[in-house]
A and B are shown apart, each in its own frame.
Chain A
Amino acid sequence: MAANYYDGQIALANGVAPNAYFYSSTIPTTQGNLPVYTSNGVKYVAVNREDVPSGHIVGFNPDSPLWIRYNNSWKGEFLTAWYNPGTAWRKCVELLNGNYIAARRYSIESSTLDIALFKYDDTPLYQTGQGRSFGESTRYICITAFDDGETVFPSLMYYIPDFSWFVIETTGANIANFNWLEGNTAPNYTWEPFEQLVGNAGQFRMNLSQIKAEYIGDGSTETVTTDATRFIINSEALISPLITRLALNEERTVLYCGHHFATAKVTSILSNYLYTYDLKFYFAENLPLFSYTGLMATTGVKSYFSFIIDRTNQAAAFDEILEYETLPGVIEYKYNEQPLPTREDMLDLYVWLSTNGEESEGPYDTGTTDDGGEPGQHRPQDHIRTQPLPTTSGLDVGFLTLYMPTAIQLSAIANYLWSDDVIDNIKKYFGNVSDNILALYSLPFTPEAAPFSGSSLPSKKFKVGNCEKDDLTVKFVNTRYFDVDMGSVQIDKLWGAYLDYAPYTSCEIYLPYLGLHSLDIDELMSAADMDGYMPMEQGCTLSLLYRIDILTGIIVAQLKITNSKITDEIRYQFTGKVGFNIPLTGQTYASLIQGIITSGAGLISTLATSGLTAPMIAGSAAISGTILAQKPNVERIGNISGDASMLSHPTPYIVLSTPNKPELIGQEKFTGFPSYKSGKLSSFSGYTEVLEAHVENIACTEEERSEILTLLKAGVIL
Chain B
Amino acid sequence: MINLKIRKCLSEAIRVTKSFAANADIDLQGDFKTAENVLSPIIQVQSDADLSEYNYCEIPEFGRKYFMTARADSAHMWTLTLKVDSLSSFAAGIRNSEAIVKRSQNKINYYINDGVFFTEQRQLITYHNFKRDGVDAKLRNTDSYYLLVAGG
Contact = CB atoms under 8 A, between A and B. Distances in A.
B95 A681 contact: yes
Nearest to B136: A651
Contacts of B115: 617-619, 623, 625
B142 A449 contact: yes
A498 B108 CA distance: 12
Considering residues A494, A627, A674, A703, which has the most beta carbons from chain B within 10 angstroms of its beta carbon? A674
Interface in B71-122: 84, 86-87, 89-90, 93-122
B103 to A, nearest CB: 3
A681 B118 contact: no
B47 to A, nearest CB: 28
B149 interface: yes
A16 interface: no
A399 interface: yes
A432 to B, nearest CB: 11
Given A544-B130, A716-B16, A674 B93 contact: no
Contacts of A718: 16-17, 95
A474 to B, nearest CB: 8
A711 B137 contact: no
Interface stretch (A165-173, A203-211, A436-444): A436-444
B88 to A, nearest CB: 11
B147 A440 contact: yes
Given A622-B120, A650-B139, A653-B127, A674 B14 contact: no
Contact of A673 (B94, B114, B121, B125): B114
A682 B116 contact: no
Interface string A650-685: 111111111111101001110111111111111111
A717 B16 contact: yes
Interface in B18-59: 38-39
A466 B121 CA distance: 70
Taking residues whose C-beta sits less than 8 angstroms from the other chain, chain B's interface range is 35 or more
A87 interface: no
A552 B121 CA distance: 46
B117 A499 contact: yes
A578 B137 CA distance: 16
A570 interface: no
A487 B131 contact: yes
A496 B109 CA distance: 10
Most buried by A among B94, B100, B122, B149: B149
Which of A446, A487, A654, A662 lies at the interface centre, i.e. has the most chain B CB atoms within 10 A of its CB? A487
Given A435-B150, A672-B104, A683-B107, A653 B125 contact: no
Nearest to B135: A487
Nearest to A646: B143
Contacts of B119: 499, 504, 622-624, 627, 659-662
B101 A690 contact: yes
Contacts of A687: 103-105
A353 interface: no
B147 A678 contact: no
A436 B151 contact: yes
A289 interface: no
Contact of B99 (A404, A499, A681): A681
Contact of B93 (A450, A491, A659, A695): A695
Contact of B14 (A476, A578, A717): A717
A676 B147 contact: no
B137 to A, nearest CB: 3
Nearest to A622: B118
A163 interface: no
Given A488-B131, A498-B112, A657-B124, A673 B141 contact: no
B131 A489 contact: yes
Given A410-B147, A680-B95, A688 B139 contact: no
Nearest to B122: A660
Nearest to A718: B16
Given A546-B139, A687-B103, A680 B97 contact: yes
A442 B144 contact: yes
Nearest to A490: B128
B144 A675 contact: no
B141 A403 contact: no
Given A651-B136, A654-B128, A688 B105 contact: yes
A623 B148 CA distance: 60
Interface in A679-718: 679-701, 703-704, 707-708, 711-712, 714-718
Contact of A400 (B101, B128, B150): B150
6 contacts: A437-B148, A668-B105, A673-B110, A680-B98, A698-B90, A704-B86
Q: Which 10 A-B pairs have the closest CB atoms?
A: A686-B105, A487-B137, A401-B152, A672-B103, A698-B93, A693-B99, A487-B130, A487-B132, A675-B104, A497-B110
Given A437-B148, A668-B106, A697-B93, 19 more contacts: A404-B147, A442-B143, A443-B143, A464-B150, A466-B151, A494-B124, A497-B110, A617-B115, A652-B130, A658-B126, A673-B108, A673-B109, A675-B107, A676-B102, A688-B101, A690-B101, A707-B86, A718-B16, A718-B95
